[in-house]
Chain A
């Protein structure tokens, strides 16, 4: 058997062991269903919280203390303006009050009303109104100012106010026509790979700890080159990640079929520059290389840790590192022709993210072939360095000294 074939076989033996040892455990089910479990918990808590907030919102009001002759006009202006807001972004409902003898005092007292919660109160003449607001009601106060203006315009023009009838037609931008290169699918690509690797590649960091604590590492090191051990463990955990993605991809794909037509159309309008099929393949490739790159670094670093405590301590810098790569790549896709983009595409750890973004922004395919080869080269380098550090630090081999430094027998 050739050395290469033997290496492949040994690597796959390690990968198989790690895959089986991870997947065929009850803990894996928890891992697999974690999004569902935590989604359900989050949804329940969020629902309760939203319900509570909705209750509070129902009581929130903007108050206009205006003469009765303005009350109808200001209510109509409010109805017109409110139509441009999304439901969650609309200001609180309008309540109008007739002014008393001291409108300023009446405005202050409105904040203490028991049947509603005022966030802003307007009083005085509509051309020079005074608006009081509480807490974060500054924007609501602005709204009351605009409302006063619109009320005056409507009153002045009366029936002469021209009725504007708008024709809205949806337009889908042709593929690659994003003149500024800021294709929304670019950000989706970067975020998608970041999201997947954030949760999945960090799993690799503690895998060598098992061998160290069980002292199996000596058995492995005697039979298999350490580089194969490292690569095998990485591939085993990548298999776990692929299983996870496939499982949730299938579920999300089926949920997608049940999506509201508007949302489905929105997603359908995401048009990567390379075309959807090529983009899908490149996305899968870059997810693979991103996982292998980050995983190989995490594996190498984690292999140096001697205790679970040290491994846990590593999780923070690892997360920061991933966030930094995401930030760099997000900046790159926002400025596709800048030096930041070039740097992010070349720097090995951000390259898969940035190149996935590039696939959405620019149509050329050949840079991706180059990038994938470049990224795989770095995977090899990281594994080699990680294995050497492990051999020196953990197996206490010292270094294999170069021949010119080798010691003669005494």
Chain B
């Protein structure tokens, strides 16, 4: 296996004349949790489907676990599609074993592991229950267990958190971390920033079929300047003169404080000016922007509105 579990270069997909994916590059390091972020309709699912070989790209190249043809790596990949699907008449453990069997796991081993996984996920009582009798969340969890039953080297999850209640979202986050700890690479798409922020080692942001960003969460957050909130000890009209030009007062003449972006050269010079001018410092906080703000900045407000 190479150091990259997944690599894609210049992936293109056309639906009719529309470029749904337009030259996307990806490099997912082995053993990492990698997020593909983007608004609805950005091309995330199409990109994942091309990476897995479900559909063929119209341009570019990709490799999966070192295999130029994704099919050759299919036994080492687990996949949870965006549209969940199970056979309703199958029992939970059979459904998990079936998904393992599709990936080369013996049925008997699959059944045994299915029971273990279900018990670990708190669903041991449902092992012999038919899928049609499970709640939507439980069925979704069963499908997720089916995607890891064969202990894949790469786990691809398309919008895995959608439709799950907070408790099951927690379970899923724990499972993703456990898979990473086992040594698997996890690639998942989402448009919920909180999950990405907590889980991802690296991420790519896709919008309009193009990759707009690639890097760590910190890299993304670092694209926006930090916000400074300053509260003077002795407020006065001349405080503004010591602050950067974009400073905005809070309350009567800034009595409650001032907001401004962190200057490129740092906060130290501003603080020196304020102290020398005798305004003092009653309070100072520096807030780094979250991934949400970075995402909005990167994708653009127009794309966000369109997604809504």
Task: List chain A positions with a Cβ less than 8 A from chain B.
Answer: 1, 3, 6, 9-10, 13, 17, 21, 25, 210-211, 214-225, 391, 395-401, 406-410
* Smallest Cβ-Cβ distance to B80: which chain A residue: A219
A residues less than 8 Å from B75 (CB atoms): 1, 6
* Smallest Cβ-Cβ distance to B23: which chain A residue: A409
Known: A1-B75, A215-B81, A407-B12. 11 other contacts (CB 8 A): A13-B101, A214-B85, A219-B99, A221-B54, A222-B49, A395-B55, A397-B49, A398-B16, A407-B19, A408-B10, A410-B23
> Does the CB pair A218–B104 fall under 8 Å?
no
Mark interface residues in B42-54 (1 if CB within 8 Å of A CB, else 0). 0000000100111
* Smallest Cβ-Cβ distance to B74: which chain A residue: A223
**Bound Cα distance A130, B15 (Å):** 83
* Smallest Cβ-Cβ distance to B70: which chain A residue: A222
* Smallest Cβ-Cβ distance to A405: which chain B residue: B58
- Candidates B12, B15, B84, B210; contact of A215 at CB < 8 Å: B84
**Bound Cα distance A399, B72 (Å):** 21
Query: Which interface class (under 10, 10 to 19, 20 to 34, 35 or more) fits B?
Result: 35 or more
B117 smallest CB distance to A (angstroms): 17
- A sample of 29 cross-chain residue pairs with beta-carbon separation below 8 angstroms, ordered by A number, consists of A1-B104, A3-B71, A6-B74, A17-B98, A25-B89, A214-B86, A214-B87, A215-B81, A215-B83, A215-B84, A216-B85, A216-B86, A218-B81, A219-B86, A219-B102, A224-B74, A396-B55, A397-B55, A398-B14, A400-B58, A406-B12, A407-B12, A407-B58, A407-B59, A409-B10, A409-B22, A409-B60, A410-B23, A410-B210
A116 smallest CB distance to B (angstroms): 62
Nearest 10 A/B pairs, CB to CB: A409-B23, A215-B85, A400-B56, A397-B55, A409-B10, A223-B102, A218-B81, A216-B85, A407-B59, A222-B79
Interface of B, secondary structure class, is mixed
* Smallest Cβ-Cβ distance to A12: which chain B residue: B101
B159 smallest CB distance to A (angstroms): 12
In the complex, B103 has a CB within 8 A of chain A: yes
A residues less than 8 Å from B85 (CB atoms): 211, 214-219
B202 smallest CB distance to A (angstroms): 21
> Does the CB pair A223–B103 fall under 8 Å?
yes
- Candidates A1, A224, A395; contact of B102 at CB < 8 Å: A224
B106 smallest CB distance to A (angstroms): 10
**Bound Cα distance A322, B88 (Å):** 33
* Smallest Cβ-Cβ distance to A229: which chain B residue: B102
**Bound Cα distance A88, B53 (Å):** 67
A residues less than 8 Å from B98 (CB atoms): 13, 17
In the complex, B111 has a CB within 8 A of chain A: no
B residues less than 8 Å from A9 (CB atoms): 104
Known: A17-B98, A219-B79, A219-B99. Is A398-B104 also a contact (CB below 8 A)? no
